[in-house]
Amino acid sequence: MTKFAIRTAFAAALFAATAFSQAKNVILFIGDGGGVTSLNAASIYGYGKPQALYVQSMPSVGLADTSTAMEWVTGADAAASAMATGRKGRNGVISVSFDDGKGAKEGEVYKTVLEYAEERGLSTGLIENNKEGLLYEMVSAFYAHAGMGNEELDIYHQFLKPRFGDGPDVVLATNYKKLNDQVTGGIDAMGAEFKAKGYVFARTMDEVASLDPGKKRVIGMFDGDDWDMTAAVKLAVARLSGNPKGFFLVVHSDCHLAKTRPSLVRLIDLDKAIRAVAEANKSNTLTIYTADHGYALYVKGERATEALKSTDHKRIVDAIHLEDQHTAEEVPVLAIGPGSGRVKGYMSNTDIFRVIMASYGWNEQTAKR
């Protein structure tokens, strides 16, 4: 080690150890397509003014690059893998290495932050309202590993056979009909498999709410995708908080719905869910909000009348441009709680992994931010 390297390593360790207090729990909220322009539009639509969302009041603000190792514009798979593993991947691949044409070994498994948490005995959870539910890449990249052309049933089997610990403890997700069709015996057979893995299997939010708090492992699979996000997040946090070692929770909300109003309403609802838990738990819980990618949804206003500060919902929607496209620009990373000070400036979506790891106090080499 050179003198410089020693000094740098020492400074990094000092920075990590002293500048920030340690987080017991981390909650990562991901708004699909919920980038800077979508947050701005949601605030104006929902509250008639800019910067009125809770996430826009979070003290730490960074801007993360979302490009993949191969593409300027990311898909859900590469974005989730970057946050989960701290490595840039490529679209179509989750949490494994890929053939980059430079002789990289294909299919090498990258350990995810959820797996680190499971290994260390923390409780873990996933909340997902995308129609693909538990198998949607934004959450599956945290528990599964698969290359190009991965099979849904394989991802499902990886969920049932976790590599570390006993896998996610609380899962609240949309019921994915395609998976039900693929699994022999459908939803009943899945329910039996979940029970065999020690889960209570619930089909409605009310059922989850009425469960004995002593039931630590719960899978809720709800019909439709418009269930109450705030209720889901509160129920998950209440159950996961029982572990004295702490918890890690990923919440993904699909705010990328190809239509203006539903996308904005989803984002506003997600923001309410974040407000409901982040503030109350900020003494020991790092809460992060980010987006998987930018989305071509923004308030436009070339003509003076278009730009007028109307608070009428219809006029606001009329002034919003929406093209159902992912975009390449940086996405906000907003944070509150212990370790949130590591979120700042222009960063990479892979830094989200490092911020979480460092905030738990894990892995010195990755504790730089």
- Can you give the binding site for Zn ion, defined by CB under 5 A? 32-33, 256
Q: Which is nearer to Zn ion, 208 or 255 (CB)?
A: 255
Angle at the Cα of 17 (from 11 to 21), degrees rounded to 5?
140
In the complex, least distance from residue 32 CB atom to Zn ion, rounded to whole angstroms = 4
Nearest distance from residue 322's CB to Zn ion, in Å?
13
Nearer to Zn ion, 256 or 342 (CB): 256
CB-wise, 229 or 367, nearer to Zn ion?
229
The distance of closest approach from Cβ of residue 141 to Zn ion in the complex, given in angstroms and rounded to an integer, is: 13
How far apart are the C-alpha atoms of 45 and 261, rounded to whole Å?
9
Percent of residues in the chain assigned helix, strand, coil, to nearest 5: 40, 20, 40
Query: Nearer to Zn ion by C-beta: 83 or 237?
Result: 83
| Secondary structure element (H or E) that encloses residue 154, with its range | helix 152-160
The SS3 call for residue 13 is: helix
Asked whether 342 and 3 are in contact (CB, 8 A), the reply is: no
Produce one character per residue of 56-68: b if its CB has 16 or more CB atoms within 10 Å, e if not.
bebebebbbbbbb
* Nearer to Zn ion among residue 31 and residue 338 (C-beta): 31
Instruction: Compute the least distance from the CB of residue 258 to Zn ion, in Å.
Output: 10
Q: Provide the CA 32 distance to its chain's centre, in angstroms.
A: 9
Nearest distance from residue 135's CB to Zn ion, in Å? 15
**Is residue 311 a contact partner of residue 27, using CB atoms and an 8 Å limit?**
no
Distance CA(173)–CA(131), nearest Å, equals: 9
Instruction: Tell me the CA end-to-end span of the chain in Å, nearest whole number.
Output: 21
The residues pairing with 109 across neighbouring beta strands, listed in sequence order, are 96
Q: Which among 273, 279, 267, 247 has a CA at the least distance from the CA of 332? A: 267
Calpha distance 310→39 (Å, rounded): 18
- Of 33 and 220, CB closest to Zn ion: 33
Q: Closest separation between CB of residue 131 and Zn ion, Å?
A: 12
Q: Which is nearer to Zn ion, 79 or 288 (CB)?
A: 79
Q: Cβ of residue 122: shortest distance to Zn ion, in angstroms?
A: 28
